[in-house]
Amino acid sequence: MKMRLRYAGSALLLMLLWAAFVFVGTLEGWFHRPIAKTNTAGAFLEAVDAELDKNFAGNFAMATIRSGVVEHEQFHSAGRPVDRHTVFQVASLSKWISAVGVMKLVEDGKLDLDVPVEKYLTRWHLPPSEFDNDEVTVRRLLSHTAGLTDGLGYSGFQNAAAVQSLEQSLTKAADADAGISGEVRVGIKPGSEFRYSGGGYTLLQLVVEEVSGESFADYMKAHIFKPLGMMHSSYTWSDSSGYQLAEFYNADGTTAGHYRYTALAAASLYTTLADLEIFFQSHLTSEGTPGRHVLSAETLRRMREPHGRSMGVEIWGLGTVLFATTANDDFIIGHDGRSTPPINTAVRLNPETGDGIIVLETGHPTLATRLASEWVFWRTSKVDTFLFPMLVGGLVWSIGAGWVAILFGTVAVYMVRRPRTK
C-alpha cells in the first residue's frame, strides 16, 4: 500500500509540474513559432498573404509602421475594392479613440479623473446599489475597474429608426449581446477588479456630452479628428457623406447589413486606414517622429499606466490595452474591435520604437486580432494579451497529453517494480 501511495504521490507531483511548465512555456512563447520564417518585412507580408489565402475576409486593409513612418499598406476585397481612404466601422477599437477624447477634457481641466462621475451627470444617474456609487470615477470607467457588471457587448440596430436614446440605452440596452442584461449598474465594489464594460464607455459618452455641451460625435470631430487631420472619421454615418463605406460580410461570404449604435463611444467609430495612421503617429512623442498631437506626452504616458489586471498580469490602462512589455518596461498598446456580423480590427503600437501594425477587416471574427498579435510575437518574441487566449487550446491539449503519459508511465513502472507474491 505504501508503495502505491508513493507512486500516486509522485505521479501527482509530476502532473502539477508538467502543467506549470506548459502554462509558463505558453505564456512565454516557448512553444509558439513566429508567423514569418525570417525577421524581414517581406517575410511577414508573405505570411499575411498566406493567411488571407486560407481565411475568408470580405474586406481587408493593413498598414505596418516602422519608426513612426508607414512602411507598407496592403488591401484585399471580395467585392468592391478598398483602399486607405475606405471607411471601416471598427467596433470596440472605438473605445481607445473615445478615451483620447475623454483625456482631452481632463487635460483641459474640465474633467477630474478621480471625483465621483455622478458630479457630472444630470440627464441619467447610476441606479442605487449595495455599493458606493460615488466610488465610480472617470479613471475607473476608462480602465474597466468601476465595478460595472453589464458585460456589454452591443449588437447594434439594423433599423436606424430603432436606435435608442442614450439614457434609454444606459437603463437597459435593447441591442445588448445575447445573454447580457444590458443594464448599466454597479455590481461589484468599484476598484476591486477588472471587469470589461461596454456600458462604462456609454456612460463616458454621456459625461462628455454633459461637460462639453456638445453631442459626443460633434465633440470628437471638433476636438480630436479635425485637429489631427482625421478627415474621414466620425462616430455617426451619413449615406450622403460621399465617402466609401467598406461592405459588410458574414463569415460564410454572404453580404451582411449595416448596424447603427446608440453606444457611439463604445462601438460606433467609422474611420479609415489613413486616419488611423495619423492617430497612431499622434501617440509618438520622441524627437523626430511625425504626427500631430492633441494630448501632451505626459497625458499619453498616463494612459499607458497599468490600472486593470487579470490573472496577475497588467492588461489595461486608461482606454488602452497593455499588450506586452517593451525593452524599457513600457507597454505595447492599442485596442481591438470585434462585432457580429464579423468586424475585426486591431492596432498594436510600441511607443518606444514607433513600430506597429493596424489591421481592419470584415467577414472574419478574429483575423485582424490574430495577425496583430502575431506581429507582436514576430517583433518581440512575447505572447501578447490577446494571443495567449488563442493558444489556450494547445495548452490544454499539451497538459492533457502529458498527464496521460505520466499516468501510463507511472503505472508501467509500478507494474515492473512492484513486489511479486509467491
Q: Tell me how far apart the terminal alpha carbons of the chain are, to the nearest angstrom.
A: 18
389 found inside a domain: no
Amino acid identity at 66 = R
Within-domain flag for 422: no
145 and 274 in a single domain? The answer is yes
What three-state secondary structure class fits 69? Answer: strand
Question: How much is the pLDDT for 239?
Answer: 76
Report the pLDDT value the prediction gives residue 422, as an integer from 0 to 100: 53
CA distance 330 to 297: 14
Per-residue pLDDT reduced to its tens digit, 379-394: 999 999 999 999 999 9
Residue 286: predicted pLDDT? 61
Type of residue found at 6: R
Q: Are 302 and 318 in contact (CB under 8 A)?
A: yes
- Please tell me whether residues 116 and 158 are part of one structural domain: yes
Tally Cβ neighbours within 10 Å of residue 330. 14
Same domain, 319 and 181: yes
Q: Is 319 exposed, middle or buried (0-12, 13-18, 19+ CB in 10 A)?
A: buried
For residue 288, the model assigns a pLDDT of 47
Asked if residue 36 belongs to a domain, the reply is no
Whether residue 184 sits in one domain with residue 107:
yes
C-alpha dist (Å) from residue 300 to 66, 106, 143: 20, 12, 14
Q: DSSP readout, 355-369? A: EEEEEEEES-SSHHH
Point out the residues of the chain with pLDDT beneath 70: 1, 286-292, 420-422
Same structural domain, 22 and 124: no
Cα 324 to Cα 332: distance, rounded to the nearest angstrom: 5
pLDDT in tens, 67-92: 999 999 999 999 999 999 999 999 99
111 to 210, 328, 418: CA distances (angstroms): 11, 31, 74
Do 169 and 23 have their domain in common?
Answer: no
How many other β-carbons are positioned within 10 Å of the β-carbon of residue 121?
A: 16
Q: CA 96 to CA 347: how far, in whole Å?
A: 10
Q: Across-strand partners of 176? A: 154
Q: d(Cα 316, Cα 307) in Å, to the nearest integer?
A: 6
What are 213-237's pLDDT values in tens digits? 999 999 999 999 999 999 999 999 9
Note the pLDDT tens digit of each residue in 116-148.
Answer: 999 999 999 999 999 999 999 999 999 999 999
Do 230 and 202 share a domain, yes or no? yes
The answer to whether residue 34 is domain-embedded is no
The number of folded domains in the chain is: 2
SS3 230: coil
Q: Among all chains, which residue has been given the C-alpha cell 499598406?
A: 73
Output the pTM of the full model: 0.94
Within this chain, do residues 406 and 279 fall inside the same structural domain, yes or no?
no
Range of the domain at 185: 41-382
Looking only at the bridges linking them, the beta strands covering 270-271 and 308-310 are unpaired
